[in-house]
Amino acid sequence: MADGEPKRDDCDAPPRKKRKIKYDQKYTAEYTDEFKCVVRYAFGATSAFCKLCRTDVNVAHGGLDDIQKHFETQKHATAAAAAKSQPALTSFVNPDRQADVAHAEVLFTSFLAFLVNEANADQQEFSLTLT
């Protein structure tokens, strides 16, 4: 300290404010129960992944409220509208016909086996007559 400076008395200093400890919210399975298109994000415990938008949602600050805010965004609304207009994959497959297809495959396979067996029998007869 220089000679001309007054001494600082620590008792007169204002008390320091305690910093509030921040706790990050982490993804829980409750989010998927409430929102079916949201799953756990593989790269962090404080993130969720929206399957419709294909984007990650940070849930560290508000948790479930962050996901609700994401659902209100224009990006999610557009993706949800597009997904709603898409036909389901099950509409392209007729599950009732699977048994018919399997039956036809068995018949065709047995027919091929019959042809191979007949061809072998004819070849044996042909080789016996030559000798």
What does pTM read for this prediction? 0.53
Contact 15, 2 (CB under 8 A): no
Mean pLDDT, rounded, for 92-104: 77
Phi-psi region of 5 (alpha: psi -120 to 50; beta: other; left: phi over 0): beta
CA 29 distance to own-chain centroid: 14
- The number of C-alpha atoms within 13 Å of 69 and in the hemisphere containing its C-beta is 11
The SS3 assignment for 117 reads: helix
| Side chain identity, residue 12 | D
More confident residue, 88 or 67: 67
Predicted confidence (pLDDT) at residue 89 exceeds the cutoff of 90 = no
